[in-house]
Chains A and B, each alone.
Chain A
Amino acid sequence: MSADDSRFKEIAFQGGLNLLLADKTEASTSTDSRNSAGKSSLVELVHFLLGASGSTRNPFTKRALRSITFGLDLDWPDVTETLKVRRSGARPAFVTLQPDVTAPDPDSLFALETQGQVEVAIEQWNHLIEQKLFGLRDDHPGVSGRTLLSYLARRVSAHGFNEAGRTFSRQPAADATTNLAYLLGLDWQLADGYRQLAARDATRKQLRKAVNDPVWGQIVGSTADLRGQIALAEAQVERLQGQVAAFQVVPEYEHLKDQADELSRRIKQLSQDDVIEQYNLDELQQAVIETVDVDTQYLQPAYRELGIVLSDQVRRRFQEVEAFHHSIVRNRRRFLNEEISELTARLAERRTERARLGEEQAQLLRQLDEGGALEALTSLQQALAREQAALGALRHRYDAAQTLESSSRQITAKRIQLQQAVETDLDEREQQTSEATLLFSRFAQALYGPREAFLAIQAGRESLTITPRIDSDNSRGIGNMVIFCFDLTLAVLAHRHGRGPDFLIHDSHLYDGVDDRQLKAALQLAADVTREENMQYIATLNTDDLAKATRLGFDAEPYALQTILTDAPTGGLFGFRY
C-alpha cells in the first residue's frame, strides 16, 4: 500500500497473518495518544481503493488528503503481475488501473493485454471487483460487492463491530442476510426474496399512508369511489360515441351558411325597400287626390291678372293656356297612375319574392340544423378521445387502488410461501450449512474450548436469519470474538468456493475488551487458518495489546509488519495529523 506523499507509511503485506502495530515512542508524553495513528484509516483506505463512494463525507476527499494519490498493489485473477490501483480524492470518480484488466471479452482466446494503464470510472471498478473478486455474475439484485467487502473489512466508522450479522448499524436485516447468504453459499436469491418483499411492504405502507391523506388520497382514491367515477365516465364516453355515430357531415357547410346569410340580408333589404315604396305610394295617392282637386277656377282670374300685370309679355291666348293647363294636369294624373300601378306591382312582386326567399332560407336553416360541418365532427371526436383517455386513467387508478388494497394480504401470503421455500432449501443444503457451522464451531472452540458454538440459520418471517452463537454470557469481549469467528468463517468459505477474495481485515477495535488468552488464541488461529487456506489476515494492534499475547507464548515475530505506526506527530499512517 502506498501513496505519492513521502510522509505516507508504505506498508507491504505478506501472505498469512499480518499485524500492523502502533507503538509508543520513548519521547511520547502521557497526553500523546495512539488513537488516530491511522489504524482505522488503514481499513478506510482499503475501502477507498476498492471502490467506496467518493462522497464528500469520505475522509479522502477532504482537503487534507485530497491532493494525495493512494495506491494499492494486489493480486488479481487472470493476470500474472500485480494490479496497481491508484485513486485520489481530487478525482474521486475514477481509479487508475495498471495493467488494464478491463478487457471487454473475458472469453478471449488471447491473453489479456497487460500493457499500459487505464483510467476507469468507479462504477466500472466496482463492477470488476464484483466479477473478479466475488465471482458475481451479471445480474445480482440484493448482493453488492461493496456490502460483501464490508464483511471482510468491517469499518469502525460505520459501527461495523456492533453485530455479527450487520456491517453498519441500521442495515436492514433482509439486506444483510442476502449478502451473508451469498458468502456462505446459501441460496441468496431466495434470501433476496425477503428484501424485495420488505421493499414492497415499505412501498405499500407509504402508499397506504398517502391514500389516507385527504389531499394525496385523491391521486389514487379508494376502489369504491373509483368504481363510481368509472361508471360515470363510461356513460359519458358512450353518449359521445352515439353522437359521433349519428353525426351527418353537411358538405360545404360554410357555403350553405354564407347562402343563408345572403338570403337573410336580401330579405331585410326587401323589407326596407317596401317601406320606402309604400311611403312613396301613399304620397302618390295623395298627389292624385290633389291633382283631382285642382280646379280651373283660378285659371281665369290668373290669366286676367296676367293681362294687367304683364300685358306686353303675354304671348298666349286664354284657350291655349287652358289647354296647356289641362294637358299638364292630365299628364300628371296619368303619370301618377302609372307610377302607382308600377309601385303596387313592385310591392306585390316583392311580397312573393320575400315569401320565396323565406322558404329557401328556412330550408337552408333546417339543413344546417340537422347536420354540421366537418370541424364540428372533429371537435366531437376530440372530446370523445379525451373522455376515453380519462376513463383509461381512472381504470389504471382503480387497478392501482385494488392492488394496494389486496397487496397487504398478498405480501403476507408471499412471506409464508417464501419462508416455506427457504426452509426447504436450507434442509436440502445441509452440506453448506453444516460446513459453515462446523467451521464456526471449530474456530469458537479454538478460542473458548469445548463450548457449544453454532451458526443458527433460520428461515424467519421477515428475513433469513443467520446468527452466530457461542454459549456464554453476553460480554462485549465474547461478542467481539463471535464476530471474529464469524468473519473468519465467512472469509474462508467464500474464498474456498470462489465467492470472495483471499483477505480479511480486522481493526484493533475488534480486540477491545478481549481477554488476553482469547487474544492470543485468536491471533494463533488466524495465523494457522490463513496458512491452511492460503489467505491473508490483516489486523491492526497496539503494541501493548500484542504484548499480552506474546506473554502467553504467541510468537509475533514472523507476522509483525516492518512498518510500525507511532504516536509521534509524524508517526501515523499518513505521516501527519489532520
Chain B
Amino acid sequence: MITPTKGIAPDRCLLAVGAQALLQLDEPRTVSQTWARLKAWRREHHHYSPVSFGWFVLSLDVLYGIGAVELHDDLLVVRNADAASLEC
C-alpha cells in the first residue's frame, strides 16, 4: 500500500501519491485545493491510474504519520524535516 506491491502500481502507492501531494504544497493550501492540484498534476504527467479522494487522504495520513505535513487553521502545511525532529 505505502510502497508498490503486486496489486498497487508504483504511481499509486501512498508514498508516491504523498510525494506528489507534497509537490503541490509549496505554500499552505486547503485540502480541496491540494486535491485539485494533485489531480491536475497527475493528468499533466500522464499518471492515469485511478486515485480516489480517500486514497489521497490516506497518503496525507501517511505524510502526517511521518510528520511531513500538519493541519494548521484548516490549511495543510509542509513541515520542515529538521523542525519535525526538533519537536520530538
Interface residues of A (CB under 8 A from B): 287, 290-291, 293-295, 298-299, 301-303, 305-306, 309-310, 313-316, 320-321, 324-325, 327-329, 331-332, 335-336, 339
Contacts and interface: CB of A to CB of B under 8 A. Distances in A.
Contacts of A315: 65-67, 84, 88
Interface in B20-74: 30-32, 35, 52-55, 57-58, 60-62, 64-67, 71, 74
A287 B15 CA distance: 23
Given A287-B32, A336-B32, 16 more contacts: A294-B57, A302-B14, A303-B61, A305-B2, A306-B66, A309-B2, A309-B3, A313-B67, A314-B66, A315-B67, A315-B88, A316-B65, A325-B61, A329-B57, A332-B53, A332-B57
User: Top 3 A-B pairs ranked by shortest CB distance?
Assistant: A294-B54, A315-B67, A313-B66
Nearest to A317: B65
A299 B3 CA distance: 15
Contact of A321 (B1, B52, B53, B65): B65
Interface residues of B, number: 26
A324 B70 CA distance: 8
Contacts of A291: 53
A328 B2 contact: no
Contacts of B67: 313, 315-316
Contacts, number: 83
A335 B62 CA distance: 22
15 contacts: A287-B32, A294-B52, A298-B54, A306-B2, A306-B65, A314-B65, A315-B67, A321-B64, A325-B58, A331-B31, A331-B71, A332-B32, A335-B30, A335-B32, A335-B74
Interface of B: 1-3, 14-15, 30-32, 35, 52-55, 57-58, 60-62, 64-67, 71, 74, 84, 88
A332 B2 CA distance: 23
Contact of B31 (A293, A301, A302, A332): A332
Contacts of B35: 332
Contacts of A305: 1-2
Contacts of B64: 316, 320-321, 324
Contact of B61 (A321, A336, A339): A321
Contacts of B30: 335
Contact of B71 (A314, A324, A335): A324
Nearest to B54: A294
B51 to A, nearest CB: 11
A114 B70 CA distance: 134
B30 to A, nearest CB: 6
Given A290-B52, A313-B66, A314-B66, A328 B1 contact: no
Contact of B57 (A287, A320, A328): A328
A492 to B, nearest CB: 130
A299 B2 contact: no
Interface centre among A309, A329, A336 (most CB of B within 10 A): A309
B40 to A, nearest CB: 13
A320 B87 CA distance: 15
Contacts of B74: 331, 335
Nearest to A284: B32
Contact of A328 (B31, B66, B88): B31
Contacts of A321: 61, 64-65
